[in-house]
């Protein structure tokens, strides 16, 4: 029987929205239903009232609809340009390009909060908002146009020279072009311009494929054991999560505090509590454990994108409407109750939830 999980440790450096507003995350298939309602498609008829309810709470300021980096990858893969544009249109209308912080950024803050309980570091991470604007925020990068001179930032000087109103209007227009192009997927004519601004979808796909290969390797190893899937699979996945997903940030974070791995994780029990105390990591572990119990599961890059999206959305949003596989795994693990999150599988349940769900912020914070 699995031990009761520890209380989640919420990082102080992650700024959450006010507790008067619900943060709402929809899986892509539910955005498609809303797009069909927007377009008057027969398949969207039953979702018209859902779209109206979303518009109403968005207009009233009682809900924020958010996107993740995963949405940008998923929309870009829709082959029909008209469908892709309609999905992007309804996303833009309801979110105004509000995006969640990247999973890596959240992992860094959660890890820092955990280690700060042992020994604080003078070299801390900066505070970041959970909800920002645009794809750069979703990717963990700073947004905003900056003009660099030979030795310094000359943005404000150029702004004053051109005129603040004209400069800001041009920058806002460029920003809107970038966000719309990234969400809809660029046309052939836009690709070069976007690449010049740092767009590189192949890099993220390569990383996701590499991470999926790690999970597929574990799946093959589990096939050869015969007992791990029925036994302590949760502990195995937890250990691998630290070894693989934290390999680029854990050593440096320890070094900044003068800590060793043995000091932080002296035994199996403390290690188990450590990983489960980090909300985003806890969600990732639950999903991976559930899917590794399925012998027929074949891992791919889409699975990694889904896990990354859920790892931030489920702990930090208030209402999450997801797909069947994620919903079943998360409900079975009682993640909704643990994270104070309404987990829905049916989009038709959303209007009632929007009307009745009360955000439970501020959550328990790091001390």
Residue 178 scores a pLDDT above 50: yes
- 14 versus 6: which is more confidently predicted? 14
Q: Which residues, 6+ apart, have CB-to-CB distance to 227 below 8 Å?
A: none
Question: What pLDDT score was predicted for residue 143?
Answer: 59
pLDDT grade for 315, boundaries at 50, 70 and 90: very high
- Which has the minimum average pLDDT: 38-47, 249-258, 310-319? 249-258
Helix (H, G, I), strand (E, B) or coil at 66: strand
Question: What pLDDT score was predicted for residue 157?
Answer: 66
Residue 303 scores a pLDDT above 70: yes
Residue 267 scores a pLDDT above 60: yes
> Rounded to whole angstroms, how far apart are CA atoms 90 and 72?
14
Stretch (H or E) spanning 198: none
> Rounded to whole angstroms, how far apart are CA atoms 116 and 19?
26
Peptide bond just before 278 cis, omega within 30 deg = no
Residue 266 scores a pLDDT above 50: yes
Mean pLDDT calculated for residue range 156-165: 67
Asked if residues 250 and 241 have their Cβ atoms less than 8 Å apart, the reply is no
| Dihedral-angle region of residue 144 (phi above 0 means left; psi in -120 to 50 means alpha; beta otherwise) | left
Question: What pLDDT score was predicted for residue 147?
Answer: 59
pLDDT digits (tens, 9 = 90+) for 180-228: 777 887 666 776 776 676 666 677 678 889 988 988 988 888 887 666 6
The encoded tokens of residue 104 equal 């890596």
pLDDT grade for 365, boundaries at 50, 70 and 90: very low
- Which has the minimum average pLDDT: 10-14, 75-79, 110-114, 322-326? 75-79
pLDDT digits (tens, 9 = 90+) for 98-155: 999 999 999 999 999 999 888 877 766 788 999 999 888 998 866 555 556 677 665 5
pLDDT grade for 364, boundaries at 50, 70 and 90: very low
Helix (H, G, I), strand (E, B) or coil at 171: helix
Question: What pLDDT score was predicted for residue 159?
Answer: 66
Directed axis angle between helix 301-316 and helix 324-332, to 10°? 50
CB burial readout 195-227, b (16+ within 10 A) else e: eeeebebeebeeebeebbeebeebbeebeeeee
Question: What pLDDT score was predicted for residue 366?
Answer: 38
- 362 versus 161: which is more confidently predicted? 161
Longest CA–CA span in the chain (Å) reads 71
Q: Which residues, 6+ apart, have CB-to-CB distance to 350 below 8 Å?
A: 24, 50, 53, 54, 319, 321, 344
Question: What pLDDT score was predicted for residue 102?
Answer: 94
> Rounded to whole angstroms, how far apart are CA atoms 136 and 141?
5
Q: Are strands 319-321 and 22-26 parallel, antiparallel or unpaired?
A: parallel
The encoded tokens of residue 35 equal 């797009």
The encoded tokens of residue 56 equal 């109403």
Question: What pLDDT score was predicted for residue 165?
Answer: 72
User: What residues does each domain of the chain span?
Assistant: 14-356
Peptide bond just before 285 cis, omega within 30 deg = no
Residue 158 scores a pLDDT above 60: no
Question: What pLDDT score was predicted for residue 168?
Answer: 53
> Rounded to whole angstroms, how far apart are CA atoms 262 and 274?
13
Asked if residues 72 and 33 have their Cβ atoms less than 8 Å apart, the reply is no
What letter would DSSP give residue 365? Answer: B
CA distances (Å), 123 to each of 297, 366, 367, in order? 42, 17, 17
Asked if residues 321 and 347 have their Cβ atoms less than 8 Å apart, the reply is yes
Q: Are strands 131-133 and 98-100 parallel, antiparallel or unpaired?
A: antiparallel
Directed axis angle between helix 103-116 and helix 250-257, to 10°? 30
Listed ranges 145-149, 166-170, 290-294; the one with the highest mean pLDDT: 290-294
């Amino acid at each position: 029987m699995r031990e009761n999980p520890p209380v989640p440790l919420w990082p102080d450096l992650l700024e959450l929205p006010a507790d008067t507003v619900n943060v709402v995350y929809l899986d892509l298939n539910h955005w498609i239903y809303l797009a069909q309602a927007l377009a008057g498609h027969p398949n969207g008829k039953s979702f018209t009232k859902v779209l109206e309810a979303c518009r109403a709470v968005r207009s009233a300021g009682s809900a924020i609809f958010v996107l993740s980096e995963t949405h940008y990858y998923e929309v870009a893969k829709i082959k029909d340009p008209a469908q892709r544009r309609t999905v992007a249109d309804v996303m833009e209308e309801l979110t105004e390009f509000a995006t969640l912080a990247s999973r890596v950024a959240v992992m860094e803050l959660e890890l820092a909060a955990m280690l700060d309980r042992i020994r604080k570091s003078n070299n801390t991470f900066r505070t970041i908002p959970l909800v920002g604007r645009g794809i750069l925020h979703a990717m963990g990068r700073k947004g905003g146009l900056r003009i660099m001179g030979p030795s310094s930032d000359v943005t404000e000087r150029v702004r004053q020279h051109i005129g603040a109103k004209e400069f800001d209007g041009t920058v806002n227009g460029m920003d809107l072009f970038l966000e719309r192009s990234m969400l809809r997927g660029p046309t052939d004519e836009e690709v070069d311009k976007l690449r010049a601004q740092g767009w590189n979808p192949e890099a993220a796909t390569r990383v996701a494929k590499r991470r999926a290969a790690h999970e597929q390797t574990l799946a093959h190893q589990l096939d050869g054991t015969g007992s791990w899937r029925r036994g302590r699979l949760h502990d195995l996945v937890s250990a691998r999560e630290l070894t693989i997903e934290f390999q680029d940030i854990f050593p440096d974070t320890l070094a900044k505090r003068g800590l060793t791995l043995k000091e932080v994780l002296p035994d199996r029990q403390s290690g188990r509590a450590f990983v489960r105390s980090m909300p985003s990591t806890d969600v990732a572990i639950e999903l991976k454990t559930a899917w590794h119990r399925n012998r027929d599961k074949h891992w791919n890059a889409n699975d990694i994108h889904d896990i990354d999206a859920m790892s931030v959305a489920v702990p930090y949003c208030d209402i999450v409407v997801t797909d069947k596989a994620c919903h079943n795994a998360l409900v079975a693990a009682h993640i909704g109750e643990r994270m104070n999150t309404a987990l829905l599988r049916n989009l038709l349940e959303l209007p009632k939830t929007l009307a009745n769900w009360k955000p439970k912020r501020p959550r328990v914070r790091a001390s």
